[in-house]
A and B are shown apart, each in its own frame.
Chain A
Amino acid sequence: MAHKPKIALYWCSSCGGCEESVVDLAEDILAVAEAAEIVFWPVALDAKYDDVARLDDGAITATLINGAIRLDEHVSMARLLRKKSRLLFAHGSCAHLGGVVGLGNFFTNEEILNRVYCDVPTVNNPDRVLPRPETRQGTTVLKLTGLHDMVRSLHQVVDVDYTIPGCPPPPALVKEAVMMVLEDRLPPKGSIVADTRALCYTCPRKETRPEMLEVPSFKRVYEIEWDPEQCFLNQGVVCMGPVTRGGCMAQCIQANMPCRGCFGPVDNVRDQGAKSASLLASLMESTDEEQLKKIVETIPDPGGLFYRYSLASSIMKGRVRRRP
Chain B
Amino acid sequence: MSTVRIGVFICECGPNIKNAVDLDGLSRFARGLDNVVVAERFALLCSLEGKDTLAKEIQRHRLTRVVIAACSPKEHEHTFKQVMAQAGLNSFLLQIANIREQCAWVISDKTRATQKAQAILEAAVNRVARHEPLEIREIACLPDVVVVGAGMAGISAALTLAQKDRKVHLVEKAPCIGGKVARYEDLFPNLECASCVLDPLLDAVLHHPNIQLWTLSEVKNVLGYFGNYTVEIITKARHVDLQTCIGCGACVEVCPVSVQNEYNEGLDTRKAVYLPYPGALPNLAAIDETHCLRWQSQDCESCQQACPFGSIDYQETDRNMSLKAGAVVIATGFDLFDVTKAPQYGYGKIDNIYTALEFERLVNANGPTQGKLILKDGRVPESIVLIHCVGSRTPRYHQHCSGVCCSYLFKFAHQIRKKIPDATITSLYTDMCLPGKEAQPFSDKIAQKTGLKKIRIKDPAAVTITQDHGRPRVTYTDACDASKSVVADMVVLAPAITGTKDASSLGTLFDIPLGGSGFFVEEQTSLAPVSTPIEGVFVAGCAQGPKEIQAAVSQGQAAAGKILSQLVPGQKRALEAMTAAVDTELCSGCKICLGLCPYKAIVFDDTQQVAGIEEVLCRGCGICAATCPSGAISARHFTDAQLGAEIESLARHTGRENRS
- Using a CB–CB distance below 8 Å, which chain A residues touch chain B? 196-201, 206, 209-214, 241-243, 246, 265-270, 275-276, 278-279, 282-283
For residues 564 through 603 of chain B, which have their beta carbon under 8 Å from a beta carbon of chain A?
Answer: 583, 585-592, 594-596
B509 at the binding interface (Cβ < 8 Å): no
A199: chain B residues within 8 A (beta carbon): 588
* Contact A211–B630 (Cβ < 8 Å): no
Interface size for B (C-beta < 8 A) is 22
* Contact B588–A246 (Cβ < 8 Å): yes
A268: chain B residues within 8 A (beta carbon): 583, 586, 630-632, 640
- Interface pairs (20), CB distance under 8 Å: A197-B586, A198-B590, A198-B629, A200-B588, A201-B589, A209-B590, A209-B591, A211-B591, A214-B595, A241-B590, A242-B590, A242-B592, A242-B629, A266-B632, A267-B586, A268-B632, A268-B640, A269-B629, A275-B629, A282-B596
- Taken together as a complex, chains A and B put the C-alpha atoms of A206 and B591 apart, in Å, by 10
Given pairs A197-B587, A241-B590, 20 additional interface contacts (CB within 8 A): A197-B585, A197-B588, A200-B589, A201-B588, A209-B590, A209-B591, A214-B595, A242-B590, A243-B629, A246-B588, A265-B631, A266-B588, A267-B586, A267-B631, A268-B583, A269-B630, A269-B631, A270-B631, A279-B629, A282-B592
Which of A214, A270, A282 has most B Cβ within 10 Å? A282
B609 at the binding interface (Cβ < 8 Å): yes
B604 at the binding interface (Cβ < 8 Å): yes
Residue of B587, B588, B631 touching A275 (CB-CB under 8 A): B631
Residue of A209, A241, A242, A266 touching B586 (CB-CB under 8 A): A266
Closest chain A CB from B493 CB (angstroms): 31
B627 at the binding interface (Cβ < 8 Å): yes
Taken residue by residue from 623 to 653, chain B's Cβ proximity to chain A (1 for < 8 Å, 0 otherwise) reads as: 0001101111000000010001000000000
Closest chain B CB from A260 CB (angstroms): 15
- Taken together as a complex, chains A and B put the C-alpha atoms of A243 and B632 apart, in Å, by 11
Interface of B is mostly: loop
B640: chain A residues within 8 A (beta carbon): 268, 270
Residue of B583, B586, B604, B632 touching A211 (CB-CB under 8 A): B604
Closest chain B CB from A212 CB (angstroms): 4
- Using a CB–CB distance below 8 Å, which chain B residues touch chain A? 583, 585-592, 594-596, 604, 609, 626-627, 629-632, 640, 644
Given contacts A243-B629, A268-B640, A278-B626, contact A196 B595 (CB under 8 A): no
Closest chain B CB from A285 CB (angstroms): 10
- Taken together as a complex, chains A and B put the C-alpha atoms of A275 and B590 apart, in Å, by 14
A278: chain B residues within 8 A (beta carbon): 626-627, 629
B626: chain A residues within 8 A (beta carbon): 278
- Taken together as a complex, chains A and B put the C-alpha atoms of A209 and B631 apart, in Å, by 19
* Contact A242–B594 (Cβ < 8 Å): no
- Taken together as a complex, chains A and B put the C-alpha atoms of A199 and B588 apart, in Å, by 7
Residue of A200, A211, A267 touching B594 (CB-CB under 8 A): A211
* Contact A213–B609 (Cβ < 8 Å): no
- Taken together as a complex, chains A and B put the C-alpha atoms of A197 and B592 apart, in Å, by 15
B594: chain A residues within 8 A (beta carbon): 211-212
* Contact B585–A196 (Cβ < 8 Å): yes
* Contact A198–B595 (Cβ < 8 Å): no
Closest chain A CB from B502 CB (angstroms): 22
- Taken together as a complex, chains A and B put the C-alpha atoms of A223 and B631 apart, in Å, by 31
* Contact B596–A242 (Cβ < 8 Å): no
A206: chain B residues within 8 A (beta carbon): 589, 609
- Taken together as a complex, chains A and B put the C-alpha atoms of A152 and B628 apart, in Å, by 27
A283: chain B residues within 8 A (beta carbon): 592
A196: chain B residues within 8 A (beta carbon): 585-586
B631: chain A residues within 8 A (beta carbon): 265-270, 275
Q: Nearest chain-A residue to B624 (Cβ)? A: A282
Closest chain A CB from B511 CB (angstroms): 12
- Taken together as a complex, chains A and B put the C-alpha atoms of A209 and B629 apart, in Å, by 15
- Taken together as a complex, chains A and B put the C-alpha atoms of A280 and B632 apart, in Å, by 17
Q: Nearest chain-A residue to B594 (Cβ)? A: A211
Q: Nearest chain-A residue to B627 (Cβ)? A: A282
A276: chain B residues within 8 A (beta carbon): 629
A279: chain B residues within 8 A (beta carbon): 592, 627, 629
Q: Nearest chain-A residue to B602 (Cβ)? A: A211
B592: chain A residues within 8 A (beta carbon): 213, 242, 279, 282-283
Residue of A213, A246, A266, A275 touching B591 (CB-CB under 8 A): A213
- Taken together as a complex, chains A and B put the C-alpha atoms of A275 and B627 apart, in Å, by 7
Q: Nearest chain-A residue to B631 (Cβ)? A: A268
- Taken together as a complex, chains A and B put the C-alpha atoms of A242 and B596 apart, in Å, by 15
Closest chain B CB from A306 CB (angstroms): 12
- Taken together as a complex, chains A and B put the C-alpha atoms of A275 and B586 apart, in Å, by 15
Closest chain A CB from B566 CB (angstroms): 29
Q: Nearest chain-A residue to B593 (Cβ)? A: A282
B627: chain A residues within 8 A (beta carbon): 278-279, 282
A214: chain B residues within 8 A (beta carbon): 595
* Contact A212–B589 (Cβ < 8 Å): no
A209: chain B residues within 8 A (beta carbon): 590-591
- Taken together as a complex, chains A and B put the C-alpha atoms of A197 and B611 apart, in Å, by 13
A266: chain B residues within 8 A (beta carbon): 586, 588, 630-632
A241: chain B residues within 8 A (beta carbon): 590
* Contact A211–B595 (Cβ < 8 Å): yes
B583: chain A residues within 8 A (beta carbon): 268
- Taken together as a complex, chains A and B put the C-alpha atoms of A297 and B287 apart, in Å, by 57
- Taken together as a complex, chains A and B put the C-alpha atoms of A209 and B640 apart, in Å, by 27
Closest chain B CB from A316 CB (angstroms): 12
* Contact B630–A213 (Cβ < 8 Å): no
Residue of B586, B587, B591 touching A210 (CB-CB under 8 A): B591
Q: Nearest chain-A residue to B623 (Cβ)? A: A282
Closest chain B CB from A232 CB (angstroms): 12
Closest chain A CB from B625 CB (angstroms): 11
- Taken together as a complex, chains A and B put the C-alpha atoms of A145 and B71 apart, in Å, by 56
Closest chain A CB from B24 CB (angstroms): 34
- Taken together as a complex, chains A and B put the C-alpha atoms of A266 and B629 apart, in Å, by 9
* Contact B590–A200 (Cβ < 8 Å): yes
- Taken together as a complex, chains A and B put the C-alpha atoms of A268 and B584 apart, in Å, by 13
- Taken together as a complex, chains A and B put the C-alpha atoms of A163 and B589 apart, in Å, by 24
Which of B586, B587, B609 has most A Cβ within 10 Å? B586
* Contact B591–A198 (Cβ < 8 Å): no
- Taken together as a complex, chains A and B put the C-alpha atoms of A206 and B595 apart, in Å, by 16
- Taken together as a complex, chains A and B put the C-alpha atoms of A241 and B588 apart, in Å, by 10
- Taken together as a complex, chains A and B put the C-alpha atoms of A283 and B627 apart, in Å, by 10
A197: chain B residues within 8 A (beta carbon): 585-588, 630
Closest chain A CB from B503 CB (angstroms): 18
Q: Nearest chain-B residue to A244 (Cβ)? A: B629
* Contact A213–B595 (Cβ < 8 Å): yes
B609: chain A residues within 8 A (beta carbon): 201, 206
Residue of A198, A213, A270 touching B588 (CB-CB under 8 A): A198
A198: chain B residues within 8 A (beta carbon): 588, 590, 629-630
B589: chain A residues within 8 A (beta carbon): 200-201, 206
Closest chain A CB from B509 CB (angstroms): 15
Closest chain A CB from B49 CB (angstroms): 44
- Taken together as a complex, chains A and B put the C-alpha atoms of A29 and B410 apart, in Å, by 94
A246: chain B residues within 8 A (beta carbon): 588
Closest chain B CB from A126 CB (angstroms): 43
- Taken together as a complex, chains A and B put the C-alpha atoms of A276 and B630 apart, in Å, by 10
Closest chain A CB from B615 CB (angstroms): 20
- Taken together as a complex, chains A and B put the C-alpha atoms of A282 and B623 apart, in Å, by 9
B585: chain A residues within 8 A (beta carbon): 196-197
Minimum-distance CB pairs A-B, first 4 = A268-B631, A198-B588, A212-B595, A242-B629
- Taken together as a complex, chains A and B put the C-alpha atoms of A283 and B588 apart, in Å, by 17
- Taken together as a complex, chains A and B put the C-alpha atoms of A200 and B631 apart, in Å, by 14
B590: chain A residues within 8 A (beta carbon): 198, 200, 209, 241-242
Q: Nearest chain-A residue to B644 (Cβ)? A: A270
Q: Nearest chain-A residue to B609 (Cβ)? A: A201
- Taken together as a complex, chains A and B put the C-alpha atoms of A197 and B644 apart, in Å, by 22
- Taken together as a complex, chains A and B put the C-alpha atoms of A230 and B660 apart, in Å, by 56
- Taken together as a complex, chains A and B put the C-alpha atoms of A206 and B583 apart, in Å, by 19
- Taken together as a complex, chains A and B put the C-alpha atoms of A269 and B628 apart, in Å, by 9
- Taken together as a complex, chains A and B put the C-alpha atoms of A276 and B590 apart, in Å, by 13
* Contact A242–B604 (Cβ < 8 Å): no
B588: chain A residues within 8 A (beta carbon): 197-201, 242, 246, 266
